[in-house]
Amino acid sequence: MRTITQYLLLCCAALASGCSQQPAPTPAETLEARLRNCVEHGLVLFGHQDDLFYGKHWNRWDSGCEQSDIRAVAGDYPAILGVEIGGIELGDSLSLDRVPFRLIREGIAEHHRRGGIVTVSWHAANPATEGNSWDVENAAGTAARMLEGGDLHALTREWLARVGDFLASLRDDNGEPIPVIWRPWHEMAGGWFWWGAPYCSPEEYKALWRLTFEYLQNERGLTNLLWAVSPGFTDRCDTGYTDYYPGDDCVDLIGIDIYQYGTDEAFRTLTRQHLATLADMARTHGKLLALTETGYESIPNPAWWTETLLPALDDAPVAYVLLWRNAWDRENHYYAPFEGEASADDFKAFADEERIGLLGDLNALGE
Ligand code: BMA
């Protein structure tokens, strides 16, 4: 997403240098073109949250091991690495999932160096209570208080400044900004986060999004963010696509987070329906589409990958699908296979599908 101001500045720079050519694409524009290229080739990139930092039976900070549950099972890294920066706003050195931010920054650079794509989520703390994202007691009106004129505005700017510092610090070996799919204020259609629909009107939500956008994109001038909006699935999630949609000028990718809680059949049907609706919306608005989070906690069906997830994607033009994390410290909180896990063989078959892209498939496609 390039704002008009950024575009004009680039044009002036091009003119001043006596050059009449188009300004060079920003890192975010290059990333967008890469994702569009995948969609045109019918390649759905596979992503896994926190893949390089920990897995079911390991974590990188204790052992220094550079592992990946996906690579252990399928022989390659995921194409998309999901990372979570909740806690950065408080100035913490560990994320809310206890991953050192130093390692997160390193892992992002490492994945980028290998040709992979990164997406960043942010489970922000509650600025009114300094509780976590799930602290929804008396949450009504919190977002409104964060806007200009509100009593939480100064704190909000402090938090956004820390987020901006982190995002600006993502650099490749030549010091160039590393582009990321940036997915703040997600799952707003549900009632589990303090910025969710029961506590935050569409106007307040859109104003919060715009505040975040204005600050990071314009004030900080970051050129490495591809802005992704993703309502979480609820029976009201249509509201998320429509009333809570922040606007074409500040969104690049439209996604949805859908997890399986019921039967395989129910998940397939629901996912297909929502992706079909969103595909229409993405087409009309000229945006990319993705299944920004999904999974079936502890994968109770050993054939879930080929029987359920693959057909759920049908022929929706999704750029990627991101599976949630394999928690190392919670018994059954995992969404991707690991060595010896019951669905590992089926996952291998899924990953071998021509349509599904791990890191090597993404790189094979070129720019
Ligand atoms: C949730 C769970 C939590 C975690 C949060 C942020 O879905 O996995 O345990 O803290 O995501 O990663």
* Residue-wise pLDDT tens digits, 301-359: 999 999 999 999 988 999 999 999 999 989 899 999 999 999 999 999 999 999 999 99
Structural contact between residues 116 and 80, judged by C-beta atoms closer than 8 angstroms:
yes
* Ligand 1 proximal residues by C-beta, below 6 Å: 84, 86, 96-97, 123, 324-325
Protein residue whose Cα sits closest to atom 7 of ligand 1: 324
Which ligand 1 atom sits nearest the alpha carbon of residue 333? 8
pLDDT at 339: 96
- CA 328, chain centre distance (Å): 21
Structural contact between residues 60 and 341, judged by C-beta atoms closer than 8 angstroms:
no
* CATH assignment of 23-365, among 3.30.479.30, 3.50.50.60, 3.40.50.2300, 3.20.20.80: 3.20.20.80
Measured in Å, residue 206 CA sits from the centre of ligand 1 at: 24
Which ligand 1 atom sits nearest the alpha carbon of residue 97? 10
Structural contact between residues 87 and 361, judged by C-beta atoms closer than 8 angstroms:
no
Structural contact between residues 179 and 224, judged by C-beta atoms closer than 8 angstroms:
yes
Measured in Å, residue 37 CA sits from the centre of ligand 1 at: 31
Structural contact between residues 290 and 319, judged by C-beta atoms closer than 8 angstroms:
yes
Nearest partner of 47 among 288, 274, 321, judged by Cα: 321
Protein residue whose Cα sits closest to atom 8 of ligand 1: 325
* Residue-wise pLDDT tens digits, 20-35: 578 899 999 999 999 9
Domain layout of the chain by residue ranges: 23-365
Protein residue whose Cα sits closest to atom 10 of ligand 1: 97
Q: Which has more confidence, 15 or 360?
A: 360
Measured in Å, residue 260 CA sits from the centre of ligand 1 at: 16
